Structure 1
Amino acid sequence: NSYYLSQEAFSRPPRRYNIKLSLDLNKYQSIERIREQHQLVQFDIEKITEDKIRITRSLADYESKKRELENLLKPWKMGTDEIENEFLRLQQIKNAAETLVRTEAENLTKLDLEITKLADEIIVIENTVSEEQKTFDVIRNKLNHLNEEIKDLSAEKDKNIRMIDILEIEVSDLKIIHENLNEQAIQKGEPPENIRSDKDEIASEYNKIKGQLELLEITPEVSQESIEKQEQQVSILKEEVKNTEIHLNNLKEDLEKRINEWEGGLHNIVDHLNKMLNLLLQDIFVNVSIQIRNYNDEKNAGLHIEAETKGDSRRYRQLSGGEKTLLAQAIILALHMINHSPIHAIDEFTQKLDKRNKALAFSMALATYKISKESRIITPQFILITPSLDDVELSKEFAHKVLIESKVKTPEVKT
């Protein structure tokens, strides 16, 4: 089990995942069984080869004995019949040996065919196991993602439960206050037909009327003229309240419209960043995705980044230092694409990058420049400020300018 950690980090290997494969392995023999059969076949081949060598040596011995017998028969002047009988006997032995050799050769050919067939089956099984392993990796990545979502949902659930408890306490207090107010209202008399629910608005209107009455210096004496003036003042106040309500509704609609436009612009920026990151980092990561979570919650808002590399989906903090820096530079370049300025400057462009990652960073900058050149009327210029470029070969699109180069040799010179 391979696992990845950032530099100087310490952890334990991940636990094994007990996930059943969907492949029915009963259709095939196990790889260990096939290897055992292959080993037995190899033993049989070696044994047959040894028998072939032994038979060949026996034939050579028989030929040697035949020549020795012929030499012995010459001085003894054996009869022709005896010589022919001995020759026929030796010929039969030779034919039997040749037949045995041919049989063993045919067996060897059959064994070779069987070995080839078993090797093909092994290749098919290995390919099938490889495909299932890929499927397993995909399922494991999805499972990890689901586990993260479950954790987030569990935290949200606990938060909602705490909020419900707080609201229940507030509702209980409000019920008591409501009952007391009802008792006071009953003592005051019958309720009006229309009751407004906006307490802040009622309080504001009450204070306004109270202030206006104080300005008018109302006296305890009530006359028809004062009543008519008060009615006129009340009608004016009602008109002002009506206009105020219309204005508040317009403000709410405008606020909702602005929020929707802002959210739409935010989603467009995130989509743009995802497209640019996958384009700029295609040589480093298989897939890169960013999400802005809880953007309506100031305390819990955050930028969530996932990068899929080396066959695993790992969080941003688990990437190497060079991968993190390149990812940050890609986000900066993608954000520069949103701004239509003719000049873009980035400081410390190759900070904490080795030779390979420096070259990748300049490749991303060149890709951003080409995209901007094709999509904009005015070709922008990118100024990339870096401490040194001695170990990087730049393409012809870059102009290398050394602004300041000095060394302090002695303390006197420094002074």
Structure 2
Amino acid sequence: MPPFDIPEGDPFGPHNLPYGVFSLPGSADRTVGVRLGDQVLDAGAAAQALGSPHAALLARPTLNPLLAAGRTTWSEVRRTLTDAVTDPAHRTTLEPLLHPLPSVALHLPFEVADYVDFYSSEHHARNAGSIFRPDAGDTLLPNWKHLPIGYHGRAGTVVVSGTDVVRPSGQRKTPADPAPVFGPSARLDIEAEVGFVVGAPSRHGHPVALADFREHVFGLCLLNDWSARDIQAWEYVPLGPFLAKSFATSVSAWITPLEALEEARVAPPRRTHPLLPYLDDSATEPAGYDLRISVALNGQVVAEPPFSTMYWTAAQQLAHLTVNGASLRTGDLYGSGTVSGPAEHQRGSLLELTWNGRDPLDLPGGKRTFLEDGDEVTLSAWAPGPDGLRVGLGEVRGRVVAGS
């Protein structure tokens, strides 16, 4: 057992150590912390007390300096923290630097530079195609098996878990309406996703190869891509999502480093179409992740999407994102796209779970097709870890409130 009385098998034990940013009651000062069970360790103060040369990177109000330091430093910092929390000799030094999780305020852990969202679950894409193009011979669009489809989102409206989501307003028009109308979205939805956080930047004009994914991506987190389906249906032709997505994207307060997920790496599903060389991962190390996600609506689990079924991997998404020479910046965030599996209970959006409102969910608080004001959505997840342990991912929670 580790020296801080962490329960055996705790998914946030020393094998995990996700990074976040917190502040103490009555203080506006923010600093980097790592989660240890149901406590938060002041990582900057711990590093300083232990004489770490990287203490300055951790005594900051955001993760960005650590992210920018690169993979070698990420590994050194993680090794130092792991040694510290597993060595009983450090207990006296570190115990005053531990704070109960409920007693601290958690903040957006990094400054988001750019935000991109993908569309990489074949099950989600086929479900959406069946809903919106029921008469199509193939529910996938012709390009889908050849490249990871994505769109550029709005970095300024990425919010930390626990932030209320104001119901967006916008134009909408059904086929029966003679003209568009303006008002609050009546078909507000969620998308259960995984977000990948870029650390080390890249040079403009120099694509990032598949093999360099882990040199640039620091870690991952759960992500909820809130979506106004009625606004989206009217606006998305011909340029894709805009106001239907840009009002809020919720992310976890905890970023799990990729190093904590070594045992969760898996091969992606079998590819059915030949890939161009920059996306061909047939000879590379497995780049999929076995993440088990749960979606709860008002406390009731309504879906359990498996991330291992994603057709396009995060490494392929990064390669495609930069293949035209677009550069990476520290703090870039890109979403996986909605995670859905083959079974009905594995669908990662209400659009799919209710089949566009045709089949309402029967919940203890009443039936739901899309979200109502006051509804709270919580995403949680775990992954296989070392020695049979689970690696917990920080939850993403958001409550819908009425617009002004």
TM-score (norm 2): 0.18
TM-score (norm 1): 0.17
Larger Rg: 1
* Bigger helix share: 1
Higher relative contact order (CA 8 A, sep 6+): 2
